[in-house]
Amino acid sequence: SKFTNMAVLELVKVAVVVLLSAQLVESIYFKETFEDGIGSRWVHSKDKKSDGEATYDGEFELQKDSEGNSAIVASTESRHYALTSQLDKVVSFGDKPLVIQYDVTYQEDATCGGSYMKLLSQPADGDLDLEKVNDKSGYTIMFGPDKCGADSKLHFIFRFKNPVNNEWREVHAHRITDASSLLFSDKKTHLVTLVIKPDNTFVVSVDQKQVLAGILGASDKFEPALSPPKKIDDPEDKKPEDWVDESMINDPEDVKPEDWDKPAQIIDPESSMPEEWDAEEDGEWEPPMIDNPEYKGEFVAKKIENPEYKGVWSPKQIENPAYFEEENPFKNLAPIGAVSFELWTTFAGITFDNIIITDNEEEASALAAETYEAKRKLQDASDPNTSWSAWFSEFLTSLTEFSSENPIKAIAIGLAVLSPVAIVMFILNGSDDEAEAAEGDAETEGKEGDEDDEDQAKKEKAGKKKAKAEEKEEDNGEEGDAESEEVETTTPRRSLRSRARKMKD
């Protein structure tokens, strides 16, 4: 019957939805939006760092924003953090890609601290002890931002076990030159994504824009590269003691002349102490120095070729016993069993949210659209520096797409929209110019006032000096008068005495 057919159709639809949902769930190794809180799945480490002294004294706190979105925050500055969760299922590298994605926000200015995520290797003999996670816990991949001072990074590091000597080798992707402006220049949410594919290609993206891509472990994208060098220095080969590796030497016949040494500066012979100089007020007068025209600089002997030079010494090269080549590193990466934020930071407010580890790029993109894009849209809208530019960029993109089909209409629309915008910008810029001109006039008046004050101060100082000089002259005049009176009074007395002596004689 018709009813039976409709019922069967509905059952088929439900079955398809369930099947698709099961496939999506099957593709997700780990997903965390913190809407249910931190919960018991996340464990704080009780271990110490490998130095045996520092403890993981920082605890992540759950925080909700104005829109009700939950996230975890490193809320205390200058702390060591270690928060780890077991994956829902172990990542085994095979014929499906691996996608790692999360968003991070810096509520305070980033000074020095990590905000990367470690994907810990699954032990072959059982599960990880999450309470014992520390900085030496083995990881397969480390991915995420890191900053200390002017040094900004976006890490992508993977560890690979050397099949020759069974030693773990850390392979670091090249630095991203604009990591500072991409991640640390504002307090907005940033999305970091890493995709590694079974064909050994990888892509690193920030805010859904590719910033690095290449072949996993290749020498043009990683330093050191995955494969160690084929040749290495012979550790047994030592440089001979009599080896001469200086190609040039001082000419023994080039001797410094006896009159070479002259001071670099001398007293200016034309200088003299100003008449208005007051030692009590101005201090002891020192004559100015000038460059000595006879100064020749430091004597340097001429160089000649060293007759005993043997060339640059280097040790012999031997085959590297640890050398290996790996054609398919993706499939030989160590399985991943847990995700961990094992960090040290000097600043608080690092916020993590919307973590997904999956083998389905579409699932990661869907989560980003639902969470990150919604958050950034609100943040950009409230930012006057980006809301206008975002609208303008979106308008130009739409206009460009429309122009391919209707070029004439596109030109007309562009002129109709952009002409009023240009007029408004011109008016605003004119207002800014007038304001700047007014500020400039105010600064000029201020400077003139300062110059008048300086001139007045100089005049007062000169007046004080002149008054002191006049006082000195008066004092000298009085002393001179007194001396004259004394001479006048003493001279007659001496004359009388001399006459009296003559009379006695």
DSSP result, 348-390: S-EEEEEEEEES-HHHHHHHHHHTHHHHHHHHHHT-HHHHHHH
Share of the chain above pLDDT 90, in %: 67
Nearest to 375 by CA among 210, 211, 207: 207
Q: What is each CA distance from 281 to 227, 341, 435, 497, in whole angstroms?
A: 76, 66, 45, 50
pLDDT over threshold 70, residue 439: no
What is the CB neighbour count within 10 angstroms for residue 25?
11
Average pLDDT rounded to a whole number, residues 331-343: 98
Distance, C-alpha 405 to centroid of its chain: 45
Average pLDDT rounded to a whole number, residues 277-291: 92
Q: What are phi and psi of 342, to 5 degrees?
A: -110, 105
338-348 residue pLDDT tens = 999 999 999 99
Peptide bond into 224 cis (omega under 30): yes
In angstroms, rounded to a whole number, what is the distance separating the alpha carbons of residues 72 and 59?
A: 10
Averaged pLDDT score across all residues of the chain: 84
User: Which segment of 8-12, 40-44, 254-258, 326-330 scores lowest on mean pLDDT?
Assistant: 8-12
Full-prediction pTM beyond 0.85? no
CB 46 within 8 A of CB 132: yes
CB 134 within 8 A of CB 47: yes
Contacts of 156 (CB under 8 A, 6+ apart): 141, 142, 143, 172, 173, 194, 202, 204, 212
83-126 residue pLDDT tens = 999 999 999 999 999 999 999 999 999 999 999 999 999 998 88
Q: Coil, strand, or helix at residue 447?
A: helix
Contacts of 489 (CB under 8 A, 6+ apart): none
Run of H or E residues at 71: strand 70-74
370-424 residue pLDDT tens = 999 999 999 999 888 765 555 565 566 566 656 666 777 768 776 777 777 667 5
What is the CB neighbour count within 10 angstroms for residue 359?
20
Contacts of 232 (CB under 8 A, 6+ apart): 317, 318, 319, 320
Share of the chain above pLDDT 70, in %: 73
CB 309 within 8 A of CB 244: yes
Q: What is each CA distance from 398 to 54, 313, 418, in whole angstroms?
A: 55, 64, 14
pLDDT of residue 22: 43
pLDDT over threshold 80, residue 463: no
**Predicted confidence band of residue 465 (pLDDT cuts 50, 70, 90):** low
pLDDT over threshold 70, residue 356: yes
Average pLDDT rounded to a whole number, residues 453-459: 57
Copy the structure tokens of residue 302.
Answer: 């001429």
pLDDT over threshold 70, residue 191: yes
219-245 residue pLDDT tens = 999 999 999 999 999 999 999 999 999
pLDDT over threshold 70, residue 313: yes
138-161 residue pLDDT tens = 999 999 999 999 999 999 999 999
Q: What are phi and psi of 456, to 5 degrees?
A: -65, -40
